[in-house]
Structure 1
Amino acid sequence: MDNLRLIPTDKIIERLRYENPWWQSRQLPEAYAVMEKRLYFDLFYPFVKDKKIKRAVVLMGPRRVGKTVMLFHAIGELIKEKINPQQLLFVGIDNPIYVHLSLEDILHLCKEALKLQDLKGCYVFFDEIQYLKDWERHLKVLVDSYPDTKFIVSGSAAAALKWHSTESGAGRFTDFMLPPLTFQEYIHLKKMDHLMYEDHIYYGEKQLPYCLSRDVKALNKEFLHYLNFGGYPEVVLSEKIQGDMGRYVKNDIVDKVLLRDLPSLYGIKDVQELNRFFTYIAYNTGNEFSYETMSKESGIQKDTLKKYLEYLEAAFLIKVLNRVDINAKRLKRVTSFKVYLTNPSLRTALFSPMGETDAEMGNMVETAVLSQWMHRDNLDLTYARWKEGRNEGEVDLVLVDDKKFKPQWGVEIKWSNRYFEKPQELKSLLRFCTENKFSSALTTSIDAQGYQNVGGIQLTFLPSSIYTYNIGVITLKMKNV
């Protein structure tokens, strides 16, 4: 404890009391108590409560998606469940006041602040754990040394967290991934659930439970707002931040993640080049790339590009989608691929908000759809592209069964009603269905909804906003199971 001399112990204890107002007030601060919980909270909280398994819970995710708020909501629930508020300890590791302390030192100070004999039955929350060097080693020791204490930590230098918690936390940590806000959660946070009702759609012969909208025009207005601002909970709820989205995201996401957190972990030397590269990708979200064209357009060596892509994907900023052919066979050499932002509103932040008739809308809607699917674990999502004679074909989203290597479905994502009127123009999708003996497929639109039959293939048309909403709904249901 020698290095404590830098800052007097009583100052640190004062800070701990300030961070844990419920020790005195016995309740969660009003600011957090009134905030709407994310729908993911109900999935997360059982891990916090579970004391049978001696594991720390590691809450991971990109910056600004609401991890700290989720920790406070967990504390609020525990207080409601009559856990003694003085057994709930919260520490924001990003505060420089703790910089020379180990987690063990901090725990001793908490005990001192509360005059506790031991930490039996306590819940300890460490926020922004990635600020502590070798955090996973420290945490593993605590899990072993304090078997009757529950540890919950959060962190956002995602690449490092994921990598470290799997490497060294085997058997000691449970990972929980909190993604950017889904469109379903966005509607829930804005208290617009009345726009939706439960019904069903037909997909070929199958009748599927599905949420539809009472007012697609109103839903589309929210959808456009979601594309521009919707990935971050606090942006959704604050018009002030929406007015200065660029600065908010630049300070918090771009500067911290691209320029600070991650380069140091991945040994990336040229931080400005990485930043330029990310901006180039954000502008072209949803486009197909090859290493050749990428290298030519960005002026960056191929090997460096590969490293940047891997790094941005590990940081939850992008998702790379690989290409398959018409039969969903993988190509021997990965020559081309698509890159999507994991959060459509990142693009707005770097450039400017879009209107619904802008040329980029198609790619942004695709980005939104893909960003909902990413919340599903272990899905082999791809896109199909092939050449037949002089003709090229492409299907936007194809799910491949990773055991049989056969496609399970194909979806065409459009921001247009034209194909509802002229379904025979969906040549690639129809060709894909014929080749793979599919009798049905799904296509999105602006607001056209219904069914069309072309040569024995039934096409289900749904507004993109409704489709995006439902991916979120179905994902949460699956995770709850």
Structure 2
Amino acid sequence: MIGTHAELTSVLRQYNPWWTGTGMPDLPTWQRAAFGELFDWMQAPPVGRALLLAGARQIGKTTLFLQCIDRLLKSGVPPSNILYVTFDHPLLKLHGLDGVIKLWREVEPAADGVEYLFLDEIQATKDWQTWLKHQVDFDKRKRIAVTGSATPLTLQGQESGVGRWHTLQLATLSFFEFLQIKRIGEPPLPEVGSLQSLFDWKPADFQRVGADAVPLVGNFHDYLLRGGFPQCALTESMTLAQKLLREDIVDKVLKRDMTALFGVRRIVELEHTFLYLCLHDGELLDLPQLCSSLGLKRPTVSNFIDLLESTHLIYQLKPYGYGKEVLRGRSKIYLADAAIAPSVLLKGKALLEDGPALGRAVETAFFKHVFTRFYRQSIGFSYWRGKKDVEVDIIADIGGELVPFEVKYRSQHTDARDLKGLARFCQERQVRRGYVVTREMADFGITDLQGTPILKIPAPLACYWLSRGELGGGQ
């Protein structure tokens, strides 16, 4: 055995101080929107599955686990029935899942009732899918939550775990969560359960709320620069915040996770591919051009892109359509957070002076917000590109109703001449309503686009309301 019994026991007790009556480590008083779903699942899973909390590194998965454990302890769960482990620790990783569970029960005998297991970075352990399947199938006393910063669910072992876990996708901090973690006071804005409800507002309502929301603009720009990683958001220095994002998050995924989990050896080529995607965030992926620019073969680049998506650094948005339209169409690439590109490219605050780059960052942020808000409802997302290169940035298919979103974040006024793609899509698909995400608060309101009502909503307000408690219902 690598590591003595005493050493392993000491490590395990360090991660589980509640076994000895020691208080929990200092935890944030605020909670992410995902906390409620995590806690409800651990209390009463709707189906016999484990819960997989998936998301990028350093976005708060461990904090969510510890907050959930704290709530369970306060609700009366015996401390010995709760286990927290992170398999980032080398000794625990080498000891394996069964070894850790056995050690737990040697040092802390089970009490009556349900056992709660919180397993961090489970993808670092051997055959974790098979182990999780057996636990779910044969031990109904356990409730298990696991995390994965790099989740190879679509790679080896997929069949062994299919149907055995429910995935809770955790994105980087939303704009509302960013305001909460930085303790920034909110302006006096009304609660909006869905953006759709804004179509019932009167012109005076838009004018009043737009004026009240002006203080959001500066904070929204700060959010785009610092990003949605809690450690970066709380760092006072903008330069240091972007350095942390670049070196402690992105570099670790590219240089450590890719090698350890996926066996990637061509790290330099992978870094170049990711740098290219940062330069083209929010754009259609031109694989031939990418391959030509980097001197790489198409299968290699395609594999890199799939791996980057698996490690939660990018999203791939497919074209709207069916069959060959989707299979032959190019993907649109969004980075997982709007601050990644300016941090990797060393732009700093210069992003705010670069109109096209700022527009791409806003589109990336908005896509993350609308995707996070609705993905649990099995809503399909795509983009649309018509003839003569007219397009719509994001299409949501909500129960058969198509809802288009176009992002036009620029200082000049947006009128019908700038919305030809949106107008054509609404006419061809008989869309009932659409949205244009703008920059100026003065643009806030309803406009008619060739017979289709369109809500023009400033990006700070759109992201704020989409993430304000992630309220249910409506688009």
For the superposition of Structure 1 and Structure 2, which TM-score range results when normalised by the shorter chain? 0.7 to 0.9
* Alignment match of 1:462 (pick from 449, 457, 464): 457
Matched residues in 2 for 1:24 and 1:193: separation?
39
What do residues 175-195 of structure 1 show as CA deviations (whole Å, max 9, x unaligned)? 222222222322333344632
Q: Check 1:165–1:371 CA distance in 2 against 1; reply closer, same or farther (3 A cut).
A: farther
Matched residues in 1 for 2:155 and 2:79: separation?
33
Counterpart in 2 of 1:431? 424
Matched residues in 2 for 1:222 and 1:246: separation?
16
- Tell me if 1:313 matches 2:309: yes
Counterpart in 2 of 1:395? 392
Counterpart in 1 of 2:285? 289
Matched residues in 1 for 2:456 and 2:43: separation?
43
- Tell me if 1:169 matches 2:161: yes
What do residues 8-27 of structure 1 show as CA deviations (whole Å, max 9, x unaligned)? 21121122222211222353
- Tell me if 1:278 matches 2:270: no
CA drift of 1:54 comes to: 4.4
SS in 2 for 1:462: strand
CA drift of 1:358 comes to: 1.7
Counterpart in 2 of 1:186? 178
Q: Check 1:282–1:10 CA distance in 2 against 1; reply closer, same or farther (3 A cut).
A: same
Q: Structure 2: which amino acid aligns with 1:358?
A: D
CA drift of 1:478 comes to: 4.7
Counterpart in 2 of 1:94? 88
What do residues 302-322 of structure 1 show as CA deviations (whole Å, max 9, x unaligned)? 222222222222222112223
CA drift of 1:136 comes to: 2.2
Counterpart in 2 of 1:155? 148
What do residues 313-343 of structure 1 show as CA deviations (whole Å, max 9, x unaligned)? 2222112223348xx9963762533211121
SS in 2 for 1:336: coil
CA drift of 1:368 comes to: 0.7
Structure with higher strand content: 1
Q: Check 1:268–1:187 CA distance in 2 against 1; reply closer, same or farther (3 A cut).
A: same
Counterpart in 2 of 1:385? 385
Q: How many residues align?
A: 461
CA drift of 1:214 comes to: 6.1
- Are the aligned partners of 2:116 and 2:143 in contact in 1 as well (CA < 8 Å)? yes
Counterpart in 2 of 1:140? 133
- Are the aligned partners of 1:204 and 1:439 in contact in 2 as well (CA < 8 Å)? no
Q: Which has the higher contact order (CA 8 A, sep 6+)?
A: 2
Counterpart in 2 of 1:15? 11
Q: Check 1:199–1:46 CA distance in 2 against 1; reply closer, same or farther (3 A cut).
A: closer
Q: Structure 2: which amino acid aligns with 1:136?
A: Q
SS in 2 for 1:153: strand
Matched residues in 2 for 1:413 and 1:344: separation?
14
Matched residues in 2 for 1:250 and 1:224: separation?
19
CA drift of 1:94 comes to: 1.4
* Alignment match of 1:300 (pick from 296, 301, 325): 296
Matched residues in 1 for 2:33 and 2:276: separation?
33
Q: Structure 1: which amino acid aligns with 2:436?
A: T
SS in 1 for 2:95: coil
Residue range with higher mean Cα deviation, 228-237 or 58-67: 228-237
Normalised to the residue count of structure 2, the TM-score between the two structures is: 0.86
* Alignment match of 1:372 (pick from 351, 361, 369): 369
Matched residues in 2 for 1:156 and 1:201: separation?
31
Q: Check 1:69–1:449 CA distance in 2 against 1; reply closer, same or farther (3 A cut).
A: same
Q: Check 1:425–1:243 CA distance in 2 against 1; reply closer, same or farther (3 A cut).
A: closer
Alignment of 1:332-347 (within 5 A): 334-347=328-341
- Are the aligned partners of 1:102 and 1:138 in contact in 2 as well (CA < 8 Å)? no
What RMSD over aligned residues (CA atoms) do the two structures have, in Å?
3.2
Counterpart in 1 of 2:120? 127
Runs of 5+ consecutive residues of structure 2 not aligned to the other structure: none
SS in 1 for 2:190: strand
Q: Check 1:454–1:333 CA distance in 2 against 1; reply closer, same or farther (3 A cut).
A: closer
- Are the aligned partners of 2:318 and 2:326 in contact in 1 as well (CA < 8 Å)? no
Counterpart in 1 of 2:58? 64
- Are the aligned partners of 1:119 and 1:148 in contact in 2 as well (CA < 8 Å)? no
Alignment of 1:407-418 (within 5 A): 408-418=402-412
Matched residues in 1 for 2:201 and 2:463: separation?
16
Normalised to the residue count of structure 1, the TM-score between the two structures is: 0.85
- Tell me if 1:107 matches 2:104: no
Q: Structure 1: which amino acid aligns with 2:85?
A: V
SS in 2 for 1:139: helix
CA drift of 1:109 comes to: 1.9
Matched residues in 2 for 1:238 and 1:202: separation?
32
Counterpart in 2 of 1:222? 219
- Are the aligned partners of 1:384 and 1:395 in contact in 2 as well (CA < 8 Å)? yes
Counterpart in 2 of 1:251? 247
SS in 2 for 1:90: strand
Counterpart in 2 of 1:28? 24
Counterpart in 2 of 1:231? 228
Counterpart in 1 of 2:353? 357
CA drift of 1:75 comes to: 0.6
Q: Check 1:204–1:109 CA distance in 2 against 1; reply closer, same or farther (3 A cut).
A: closer
SS in 2 for 1:306: helix
SS in 2 for 1:477: coil
CA drift of 1:288 comes to: 2.3
- Are the aligned partners of 2:437 and 2:456 in contact in 1 as well (CA < 8 Å)? yes
Q: Check 1:171–1:194 CA distance in 2 against 1; reply closer, same or farther (3 A cut).
A: same
What do residues 221-248 of structure 1 show as CA deviations (whole Å, max 9, x unaligned)? 11111111232122222325x4323432
Alignment of 1:465-480 (within 5 A): 465-473=460-468, 476-478=471-473
Matched residues in 1 for 2:262 and 2:94: separation?
24
- Are the aligned partners of 2:239 and 2:348 in contact in 1 as well (CA < 8 Å)? no
CA drift of 1:442 comes to: 1.9
What do residues 35-61 of structure 1 show as CA deviations (whole Å, max 9, x unaligned)? 421111011111111268543322221
Q: Structure 2: which amino acid aligns with 1:132?
A: T
- Tell me if 1:442 matches 2:415: no
- Are the aligned partners of 1:282 and 1:346 in contact in 2 as well (CA < 8 Å)? yes
